[in-house]
Structure 1
């Protein structure tokens, strides 16, 4: 059984004013405008390319407060072009913003990845709130992960765990693994090389990764892509990468001051193709962060 959402009611105080906004300013197509009598009327409009329409009504839904609708989303392939069209049409908006945690937004910068996380927010004359969201293509669902720790270190000291070799080598790698090398080049466009060495019972081999940085905002945020390489930074063949793990794993690291001079650390990883691959990676990350916690706990003692 297929269930298709066809119409959403948008509560407005003045149907003519709202119709003019949606049709003339936003460019929605007017499907029909029906007046049953002096008190009852409804107008249906459809966004360009949409399979779902909106209705503006008078006399039918008196319990819906005008301007109370929230969370309506229009999907566009290019958020910057869509925002430019809003400006051209005279629609007030907050500009292009991106979200990193699903709850807060910041202004988009050149070079930001915008798919799924790029938005423009605006309201109709009654205050009903809309968002444009960029989704340029709909690929297969991915599985992401996040882990959080509170470190016994101030923000500037915790930042060193991600930027200075002597710190990175003390926590990189899950339980039982060591890190004999960390060549750090922490700047936007820079690439670090890190190595983890397996314990003897697991073969003792060295495994290399590069971290290539898209954003470096000391001491609060790092965004980088982790690749699988050899000691010379050459990419490993695809078949050498574990099943379900992306060719390049996007990481976002955020640090925030916490009570008592400590630091809240959150690490997010994106793009795993299967729940199993995500869960294995989560387990490894958790063990790395356990080592990082212990590093600062010993320093604090």
Structure 2
């Protein structure tokens, strides 16, 4: 078994299989009009999402909590292999995309030095796609801080969007 590691630290890895073609899963993951529908855990909305989807391009998305508090994430794309792989950096930000340290927001976050987020899209045949998200944080701290739970809630919302797109094809 191969671990997804940088410096031998086990990284957060979350995998889902969708009953939809890879191109459709890719579209739901990369098109801001769909990202706004699934970005953020259960109960959160995303009123703003700007994506310059190219290597070197940046993104900026907001998450609004049920009580109206806003959180911003921004990042940059480092590698894009269409319908297969996205490598990106992501960080907490202000509404202008400027980096904000997690501690300033009262958020516990431990990143692995030199690690980027990696999203893989694998065609399983029979109209199914496997999505694997590899985060830039250690699995143990991601579990303890609630990030694994949050990403699973995000992927639950994402699954609903993918299912709707697949049914409308």
Same fold at TM > 0.5: yes
SS class of match (1:180)? coil
Give the alignment partner of residue 167 of structure 1, picking from 1, 26, 34: 34
Is the 1:154–1:263 contact (alpha carbons within 8 Å) kept by the matching residues of 2? Answer: yes
Matched length: 162
State the alpha-carbon separation in 1 of the partners of residues 55 and 128 from structure 2: 26
2:122 is matched with 256
RMSD of aligned Cα (Å): 2.4
State the alpha-carbon separation in 1 of the partners of residues 58 and 112 from structure 2: 16
TM-score, scaled relative to structure 1: 0.49
Structure with bigger gyration radius: 1
CA displacement at 1:239 relative to structure 2: 2.4
Summarize the alignment of residues 127-276 of structure 1 with structure 2, pairs less than 5 Å apart: 142-200=9-67, 204-237=68-101, 239-240=103-104, 242-246=107-111, 250-272=116-138, 275=140
Question: CA, structure 1 residues 238+150, in 2 after alignment: closer, same or farther (shift >3 Å)?
Answer: closer
TM-score, scaled relative to structure 2: 0.85
Higher helix proportion: 2
State the alpha-carbon separation in 2 of the partners of residues 251 and 281 from structure 1: 13
Q: Which of the pair has the greater relative contact order for Cα pairs under 8 Å at 6+ separation?
A: 2
State the alpha-carbon separation in 1 of the partners of residues 17 and 101 from structure 2: 37
Residue ranges of structure 2 left out of the alignment (5+ in a row)? none
Residue ranges of structure 1 left out of the alignment (5+ in a row)? 1-100, 104-115, 118-137
Question: CA, structure 1 residues 235+199, in 2 after alignment: closer, same or farther (shift >3 Å)?
Answer: same
Deviations 1:199-226 (A, max 9, x none): 12xxx11111112111011111000011
Deviations 1:72-116 (A, max 9, x none): xxxxxxxxxxxxxxxxxxxxxxxxxxxxx938xxxxxxxxxxxx7
Is the 1:169–1:179 contact (alpha carbons within 8 Å) kept by the matching residues of 2? Answer: yes
